[in-house]
């Protein structure tokens, strides 16, 4: 037998075997297989698993003339896309019969840029799928199947997927009145004919593109993230531009959020085996990021059983989100208020218990947010005035003692180590005898920093500022350009953007002028290193201009008011403090015996040791 004959026999045998396998009768149903978190991966890797789709069933009915349309299962028959509207006074939801899922969400109380309608997502932005694994170990994607709308009202609809004439899968939606929440109950009848009867877990896939809603893509991107709450308590977020994270702990909810709005999926039974992904769009795409979730949902397919989900499609409004926890205790609380980022524990505490209550009260009485910020700034200044006064008093003591400090510098001239040590020792002795402490003015100033930083966290994320105008600023939640350009300037565009914000510019000018005034009033005796200290305030003012130019104009307005009120405070303190009387009191203090603190004793001992070491060095020269 020659070589060609052998090859021909082998090929013929393979053809016969392949033909027999293709015409092999369908096997009996296999034992049920529990679903896993990543059905997409299983579908691609397991050769025995096939995926049902509408196109497959259509091809079957068209390609095989011996089959009729009635032979195609009801759930595989192609239908017509139709939108069903649910609407209340806050939100309008469009549900598509293809997939039976929300396709469009419009927030009726908010506007997008230039006064346009605000859509949290539109057609093609959101997908939601339950990959059903059948008794034949095949995948049936609900996102590809056509549902029939039943019992349609303005607030409710049942999206039904008919399995056969009597059995079905329902997605029952209920839009709560005066609320941004939509209940979604997944329930079925006779689904055990299609799915394993003992199935208790179901895979879930959710993906969403986050639309750009605000003027600044850069700053909106900073606050666009995935957030989730553990079933055991605690909230975390994923904010990287590109990340894939597996979360094995069970979750109560997952949120795809931007700066001011969120889409949240909440479950009574915790989500399991969660895989969360994030990717970033380009700046001019109209989108910020793309988020996806693959998870496992607890679901018993027996008749009468249901899986209960809640969609929240609305604003990141702290008061609104916090109200959802009213009447709940401990781990029953949702903690959705954490969607509003307000800094770490200390800063959040200041915002939650001090800033927000005041702002809430003022906003209920006053319509202008410019006036509200002004009053808030005044109240904060009054609250911190005791600390500010103590800091100013310390500066005044340094100022009236300045001639005596200059006399000490003249007494020990020179830049050698010995002269410097003598000047330092005698100057500290003067301050101690007079009852003045150069460091006493620092602590009161440091106590003000948490409030400044807390408000830096609050203003850019406060939805109450969004769309609110004041003076020339059309929207206090974003920058207020006085000058703008449509081309890139190397280095400058990366720092400033393509504009100059007026409130930010005014804030910088006032800060520079105020720092110059302080330098003139509190000029200390010339010492080594003081030149750099004099330059630093001006450098910081310019740095803050570049830092805040693309930030919220409401925040720059607040810092401008803070600087102006600080100037007024300083002038008032200067008028209230008689420096001649203050100097006389300090001179009286010199005559009183003063007990040295342990810290002062250690400082003097250290200075004496340094002087002794310096004298030893001078002897050996």
CATH (domain of 100):
2.70.98.90
Is residue 260 situated within a structural domain?
yes
Q: Are residues 354 and 335 in the same domain?
A: no
Contact between 277 and 243 (Cβ < 8 Å): yes
Q: How many domains does the chain have?
A: 2
Q: Looking at residue 616, what is its pLDDT?
A: 67
Is residue 11 situated within a structural domain?
no
Q: How far is CA 194 from CA 138, 171, 191, in A?
A: 10, 17, 5
Residue tagged 């939801």 (tokens): 93
Is residue 277 situated within a structural domain?
yes
Give dist(CA 164, CA 76) in Å, integer.
10
Q: Are residues 314 and 353 in the same domain?
A: no
SS3 (DSSP) at 306: strand
Is residue 392 situated within a structural domain?
yes
Q: Are residues 360 and 265 in the same domain?
A: no
Which residues constitute the domain of residue 470?
349-401+436-577
Residue tagged 């001090």 (tokens): 354
Residue tagged 């101690």 (tokens): 432
Residue tagged 């399991």 (tokens): 272
Contact between 80 and 74 (Cβ < 8 Å): no
Model pTM score: 0.77
Residue 131: strand pairing partners? 141
SS3 (DSSP) at 410: helix
Q: Which residues of the chain register pLDDT less than 50?
A: 1-69, 525-526, 528
Q: Looking at residue 115, what is its pLDDT?
A: 81
SS3 (DSSP) at 227: strand
Q: Are residues 334 and 385 in the same domain?
A: no
Q: Are residues 308 and 172 in the same domain?
A: yes
Give dist(CA 223, CA 257) in Å, integer.
8
Domain boundary among 577, 596, 612: 577
Q: Are residues 269 and 373 in the same domain?
A: no
Give dist(CA 442, CA 440) in Å, integer.
6
Q: Looking at residue 522, what is its pLDDT?
A: 59
Q: Looking at residue 302, what is its pLDDT?
A: 79
Q: Looking at residue 328, what is its pLDDT?
A: 87
Instruction: Name which of 559, 511, 502, 510 is nearest 536 in CA terms.
Output: 511
Q: Are residues 382 and 463 in the same domain?
A: yes
Domain boundary among 562, 577, 592: 577
Give dist(CA 611, CA 604) in Å, integer.
10
Give dist(CA 40, CA 35) in Å, integer.
11
Residues in the chain: 621
Q: Are residues 280 and 385 in the same domain?
A: no
Q: Are residues 359 and 325 in the same domain?
A: no
Give dist(CA 97, CA 83) in Å, integer.
6
Residue tagged 């045998």 (tokens): 13
Q: How far is CA 326 from CA 19, 254, 255, 312, 340, in A?
A: 67, 20, 20, 17, 17
Q: Are residues 111 and 242 in the same domain?
A: yes
Q: Are residues 184 and 261 in the same domain?
A: yes
Give dist(CA 238, CA 255) in Å, integer.
10
Q: Are residues 478 and 500 in the same domain?
A: yes
Instruction: Name which of 152, 185, 204 is nearest 304 in CA terms.
Output: 185
Contact between 505 and 472 (Cβ < 8 Å): no
Q: Looking at residue 578, what is its pLDDT?
A: 73
Is residue 246 situated within a structural domain?
yes
Residue 264: Cβ within 10 Å count: 23
Is residue 52 situated within a structural domain?
no
Q: Looking at residue 33, what is its pLDDT?
A: 35
Is residue 465 situated within a structural domain?
yes
SS3 (DSSP) at 49: coil
Which DSSP symbol is given to 192? G
| Angle at CA of residue 601, ends 595 and 606, nearest 5° | 160
Give dist(CA 312, CA 294) in Å, integer.
19
Q: How many CA atoms lie within 13 A of 500 on its CB side?
A: 9
Q: Looking at residue 311, what is its pLDDT?
A: 97
Is residue 88 situated within a structural domain?
yes
Residue 65: strand pairing partners? none
């Amino acid at each position: 037998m020659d070589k060609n004959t052998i090859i021909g026999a082998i090929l013929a045998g393979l053809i016969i075997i392949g033909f027999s396998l293709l015409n092999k009768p369908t096997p009996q149903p296999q034992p049920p297989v529990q679903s896993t978190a990543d059905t997409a991966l299983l579908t691609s890797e397991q050769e025995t698993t096939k995926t049902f789709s509408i196109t497959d069933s259509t091809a079957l009915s068209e390609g095989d003339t011996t089959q009729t349309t009635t032979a195609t299962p009801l759930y595989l028959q192609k239908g017509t896309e139709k939108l069903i509207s649910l609407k209340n006074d806050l939100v309008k939801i469009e549900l598509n019969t293809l997939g039976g899922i929300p396709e469009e969400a419009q927030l009726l109380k908010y506007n997008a840029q230039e006064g346009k309608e605000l859509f949290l997502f539109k057609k093609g932005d959101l997908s939601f799928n339950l990959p059903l694994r059948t008794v034949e170990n095949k995948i049936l994607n609900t996102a590809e199947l056509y549902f029939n709308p039943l019992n349609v009202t303005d607030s409710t609809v049942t999206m039904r997927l008919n399995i056969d004439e009597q059995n079905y899968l329902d997605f029952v939606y209920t839009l709560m009145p005066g609320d941004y929440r939509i209940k979604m109950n997944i329930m079925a009848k006779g689904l055990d004919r299609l799915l394993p009867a003992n199935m208790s877990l179901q895979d879930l896939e959710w993906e969403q593109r986050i639309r750009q809603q605000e003027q600044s893509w850069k700053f909106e991107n900073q606050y666009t993230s995935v957030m989730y709450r553990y079933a055991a308590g605690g909230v975390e977020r994923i904010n990287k531009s590109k990340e894939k994270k597996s979360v094995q702990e069970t979750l109560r909810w997952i949120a795809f959020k931007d700066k001011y709005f969120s889409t949240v999926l909440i479950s009574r039974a915790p989500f399991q085996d969660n895989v969360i992904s994030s990717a970033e769009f380009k700046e001019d795409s109209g989108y910020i990021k793309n988020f996806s979730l693959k998870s496992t949902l607890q679901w018993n397919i027996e008749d009468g059983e249901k899986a209960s989900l809640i969609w929240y499609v609305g604003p990141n409004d702290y008061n609104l989100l916090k109200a959802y926890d009213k009447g709940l205790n401990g781990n029953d609380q949702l903690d959705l208020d954490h969607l509003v980022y307000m800094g770490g524990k200390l800063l959040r505490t200041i915002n939650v218990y001090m800033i927000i209550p005041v702002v809430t009260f003022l906003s209920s009485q006053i319509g202008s947010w410019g006036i509200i910020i002004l009053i808030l700034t005044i109240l904060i200044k009054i609250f911190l005035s005791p600390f500010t006064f103590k800091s100013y008093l310390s500066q005044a003591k340094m100022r009236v003692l300045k001639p005596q400090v200059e006399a000490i510098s003249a007494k020990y001239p020179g830049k050698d180590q010995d002269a410097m040590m003598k000047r330092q020792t005698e100057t500290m002795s003067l301050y101690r005898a007079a009852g003045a402490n150069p460091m006493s003015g620092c602590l009161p100033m440091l106590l003000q920093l948490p409030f400044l930083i807390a408000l830096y966290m609050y203003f850019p994320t406060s939805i109450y500022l969004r769309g609110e105008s004041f003076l020339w600023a059309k929207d206090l939640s974003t920058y207020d350009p006085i000058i703008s350009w449509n081309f890139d300037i190397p280095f400058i565009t990366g720092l400033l953007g393509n504009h100059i914000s007026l409130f930010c510019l005014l804030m910088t000018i006032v800060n520079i002028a105020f720092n110059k005034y302080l330098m003139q009033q509190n000029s200390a005796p010339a010492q080594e290193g003081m030149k750099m200290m004099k330059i630093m305030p001006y450098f910081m003012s310019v740095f803050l201009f570049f830092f805040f130019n693309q930030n919220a104009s409401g925040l720059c307005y607040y810092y401008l008011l803070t600087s102006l009120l600080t100037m007024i405070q300083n002038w008032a303190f200067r008028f209230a403090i008689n420096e001649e009387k203050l100097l006389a009191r300090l001179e009286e203090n010199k005559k009183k015996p003063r007990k040295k603190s342990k810290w002062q004793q250690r400082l003097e001992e250290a200075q004496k040791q340094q002087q002794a070491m310096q004298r030893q060095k001078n002897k050996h020269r």
